[in-house]
Structure 1
Amino acid sequence: MKTTLILTTALVASGFAASAQELNVVSWGGSYTKSQVEAYHKPFTEMTGIKINSIDADNPATPLKTQVEAGNVTIDLADIELSDAIRLCDEGLLEPIDPASLPPAPDGTPAIEDFVDGALQDCAVATIVWGTIYAYDTTKFTGEKPSKIGDFFDTEKFPGKRGLLKAPKRSLEMALLADGVPAAEVYDVLGTPEGVDRAFAKLDTIKNDVVWWEAGAQPPQLLADGEVVMTTAYNGRIFNAIADEGKPFQIVWDGQYIDFDLWAIPKGAPNLEAAKQFLAFSTDTQRLADQAKWIAYGPARKSSASLVGLYQDGKIEMAPHMPTNPDNMTNSLVNDPEFWADHDVELNERFNAWLAG
């Protein structure tokens, strides 16, 4: 995490300059960035000769916004979440993206028809569908195992520390799901003062048992180090810990929170045309399917689904591990970016005050 912060600070402060034959691409680090490097960066460089400087940030939207507002942009492309993509676009900080500039599916279906609903935004193009789930260390429970979203909050039945994202987004929705609110009603409830109170009351029940995390690489490490017995996490990070490192972890899909990650180009990107070229290349059908060889995130194009096969080890079938697998979506909640665009500031303020209280 310290390395990430140093890299991000250096990128913002010193202007990590790129030549015409280099692109600065900012993403989230860890196994996720590795999947991008393998599926996108390496083949793009091989095809074009353009070098990709891959830079990590805890949240790539932060340095992007800072740079554009300062008029000192060195980022060419950033991987950001859906709510950030909408907000930054509304603020005029991102380049618009024409769907017609994106490659069609292999059968000729236009990109605008081939991407799943919500994946194409005015200023951003989704690459993956991912889930925030919770996972537990199977060696910590000898009898009954956690299986529902409510079990995460039941420290009497399942004692031990919990890892939780240090942010209201996803934490509040998860609390309401665990408190019995149907997924279809979560945002309606959270849009009321009573609903917000209810979510925080549920979080109160585990507040003294929480170890807070901020970067995606932290939850599997917290589990591995025994600092927590269960933690919320990005599903791909837990999958990689299981598949690559043989960790005794188990994902609980009940109450999964589904979201997109998208490529966005900042206003004033120093290598705009090359950035657009890379964006189009990395969001074609084959490239999105290739990423699924390296991490368990679902491709954002419909035509990629049939091309998803084995993990890079050549052994594990990836389809069952995708957040978009129907078996994993029985009680899932899809992020409402418009809700967060409207309520982000007030709920962050309430969350920070609650943390300090």
Structure 2
Amino acid sequence: MKTRISLVGTTIAACALGVFGAAAAHAANTISVVTFGGAYEAAGKKAWFEPFTAKTGDQFSTESYDGGLAKLQAMEQAKNPTWDLMDLESNDAITACDEGLLEKIDKKTLGNTGDFLPNAISDCAVASMVWSTVYAYDTTTLKAAPTTINDFFDLKKFPGKRGMRKSPKAAVEWALIADGVAPQDVYKVLGTPAGVDRAFKKLDTIKSSIVWWEAGAQAPQLLADGAVVMVQAYNGRIDDAIHKDKKPFKIVWDAQVYDFEWWGVPKGAKHAEAAKKFIASASTPQAYADLSKYIAYAPPRKNSIPLIDKARLNDLPTAPENFKRPLQINASFWADNADAITKRFQNWLTQ
């Protein structure tokens, strides 16, 4: 009897250690995430990372970047991916998938996907939100309120520096719209050499007044510091400055350039399965709705809309009042033409 009790005790202890060991091993997973940082990363931590950690024990380490696939391509060539999860712009998601740089996504893990917006799921990536490039100004600095994209390019009526992302994307589209091209015709015009020339000629008119930024968090800071009178920015960064930092900024939604943001898992990622489980967790209607509590990015699922506070809906890019003359990024255009136009842009910067 004594021996039996000892054996039972030993078995229970072993089981307990086994369960604890398994839990500890699982908790040891650290998913390496590369994102655009700043307010978006902070919102993602609250809406997605922290709940996932509480549920699974998996932790996250984050690294900021400003897009592009150069480092991912180098990792693939070296067969040594150090990232498990990537925050991708649409053209990068398309190119990365085409080049075999991302793991395939099992759409079954996302449940019933009938309420996703069109094209919000690809073979290799899942849309994380809808965001916009807009411009904003300080209401205490400008005497008159700019209301159109033409005002951004009007140095006579609105003198002063403009802040812009150091990238041709959205800049060339804005230039054409400000030069009289209808949003629906932008990519038809931009798809010709003459159209590209026209865009850069319009950018020439404000080139001497542009202050370039590279990280999203720099945009609202330039405006707050008075370094610029208007700034091109991600709508969520400006909304964050308005509501959290109480800055007297106002967004101009005219000609907003909107797009999906994407989650993708690098090919051969060390924690690929954990990253895929995270994507499924962050892609539920409630998870998408939760993100809008912390930053003004819109959900790519229709079933998320009823879960968002009505007052908050007015801050989102897709709100009817904000969506009067939008332009959706043509991701296929940029996937095909990014290299050539970026090279032209870099040469233009040095001229």
Partner of 1:130: 131
Query: 1: distance between equivalents of 2:70 and 2:28?
Result: 24
1:41 aligns with 2:42: no
1:141 aligns with 2:142: yes
Query: 1: distance between equivalents of 2:296 and 2:73?
Result: 29
Query: 1: distance between equivalents of 2:95 and 2:68?
Result: 14
Partner of 2:219: 219
8 Å contact 2:28–2:59 — kept in the other structure?
no
Query: SS at 2:240's partner residue?
Result: helix
Partner of 2:151: 151
For 1:139, give the aligned amino acid: T
Partner of 1:334: 328
Query: 1: distance between equivalents of 2:314 and 2:65?
Result: 29
Q: CA deviation at 1:318?
A: 1.1
8 Å contact 2:27–2:56 — kept in the other structure?
no
Structure exhibiting the larger radius of gyration computed from Cα positions: 2
Query: SS at 1:169's partner residue?
Result: coil
Query: 1: distance between equivalents of 2:300 and 2:77?
Result: 30
Q: CA deviation at 1:54?
A: 2.3
8 Å contact 1:130–1:323 — kept in the other structure?
yes
Query: SS at 1:297's partner residue?
Result: coil
Partner of 1:249: 249
Query: 2: distance between equivalents of 1:45 and 1:60?
Result: 28
Query: 2: distance between equivalents of 1:19 and 1:205?
Result: 55
Q: CA deviation at 1:62?
A: 4.5
Query: 1: distance between equivalents of 2:210 and 2:105?
Result: 41
1:32 aligns with 2:26: no
Query: 2: distance between equivalents of 1:185 and 1:196?
Result: 13
Query: SS at 1:247's partner residue?
Result: coil
Query: 1: distance between equivalents of 2:73 and 2:247?
Result: 37
Query: 2: distance between equivalents of 1:133 and 1:62?
Result: 27
Query: 2: distance between equivalents of 1:101 and 1:349?
Result: 40
Query: 2: distance between equivalents of 1:272 and 1:352?
Result: 35
Q: CA deviation at 1:60?
A: 6.8
2:349 equivalent among 329, 345, 355 = 355
Query: 2: distance between equivalents of 1:225 and 1:63?
Result: 32
Query: 2: distance between equivalents of 1:20 and 1:266?
Result: 20
1:3-22 pair list within 5 angstroms:
21-22=29-30
Q: CA deviation at 1:258?
A: 0.4
For 2:216, give the aligned amino acid: G
Q: CA deviation at 1:64?
A: 2.9
Query: 2: distance between equivalents of 1:20 and 1:119?
Result: 32
Structure 1: runs of 5+ lacking an equivalent: 1-17, 104-109, 311-316
8 Å contact 1:134–1:232 — kept in the other structure?
yes
Partner of 1:322: 316
Partner of 1:231: 231
Q: CA deviation at 1:55?
A: 2.3
Partner of 1:314: none
Query: SS at 1:351's partner residue?
Result: helix
Query: 2: distance between equivalents of 1:263 and 1:64?
Result: 14
Q: CA deviation at 1:269?
A: 0.5
Query: SS at 2:314's partner residue?
Result: helix
Query: 2: distance between equivalents of 1:269 and 1:80?
Result: 16
RMSD: 1.4
Q: CA deviation at 1:43?
A: 0.6
- Aligned residue pair count: 326
1:88 aligns with 2:96: yes
8 Å contact 2:27–2:57 — kept in the other structure?
no
Query: 2: distance between equivalents of 1:20 and 1:336?
Result: 40
8 Å contact 2:68–2:92 — kept in the other structure?
no
Q: CA deviation at 1:57?
A: 2.0
Query: 2: distance between equivalents of 1:62 and 1:214?
Result: 16
For 2:79, give the aligned amino acid: G
Q: TM-score, normalised on structure 2?
A: 0.90
1:88-107 pair list within 5 angstroms:
88-103=96-111
Query: Deviations for 1:327-349, whole angstroms, at most 9, x for unmatched residues?
Result: 11111100101111111111011
For 1:234, give the aligned amino acid: Y
For 1:319, give the aligned amino acid: L
8 Å contact 2:82–2:270 — kept in the other structure?
yes
Query: Percent same amino acid among aligned pairs?
Result: 51
Structure 2: runs of 5+ lacking an equivalent: 1-25
8 Å contact 1:223–1:231 — kept in the other structure?
yes
Query: 2: distance between equivalents of 1:62 and 1:79?
Result: 14
Q: CA deviation at 1:122?
A: 1.4
Q: TM-score, normalised on structure 1?
A: 0.89
1:193-208 pair list within 5 angstroms:
193-208=193-208
8 Å contact 2:32–2:62 — kept in the other structure?
yes
